Amino acid sequence: MKHAISFILFLMASAAQADCYADYKAKQDSPLRLQYGVARIDGPCTAAQAEAELSPRLETAGWVLLNVMDVFDETGLEQRRDSAGEFYLRF
C-alpha cells in the first residue's frame, strides 16, 4: 500500500510538471503586421497564465498580444509548427 501511494504521488508530480505551450495571435502597427505563434509557458497551463507571460515577452519586441487561442502539452506542438513558421517557440 505504501508503494502504491508513493507511485500515485510520483505520477501526480510528473503530470504537474508537464510542459505547457500556447498558441496566440499578435500584431504590430505602422505598418500593420499580424503574427501567429507558439510559445512555451512556464507557469500553470492556463490561458490566463499564458496571457500574463506572453504579453510582456511580445511587447519587448514591439508586438501586442491579441489573444491566446489555446494552451496544450507537447502532443500539440508538431501540428502547429508549420503554421507558426518563424514564430514557433520564438517568444
Q: What is the pLDDT of residue 1?
A: 57
Per the listing, cell 508586438 goes with: 63
Q: What is the pLDDT of residue 11?
A: 46
Q: What is the pTM of this model?
A: 0.78
**What amino acid occupies position 57?**
R
- The DSSP code for 1 is -
pLDDT tens readout for residues 4-36: 554 444 444 444 568 999 999 999 999 999 999
Q: What is the pLDDT of residue 7?
A: 46
- Distance of alpha carbon 7 from alpha carbon 13, whole angstroms: 10
pLDDT tens readout for residues 48-76: 999 999 999 999 999 999 999 999 999 99
- Cis bond leading into 31, ω under 30°? yes
Which cell goes with 3? 508503494
**What amino acid occupies position 65?**
L
Q: What is the pLDDT of residue 10?
A: 46
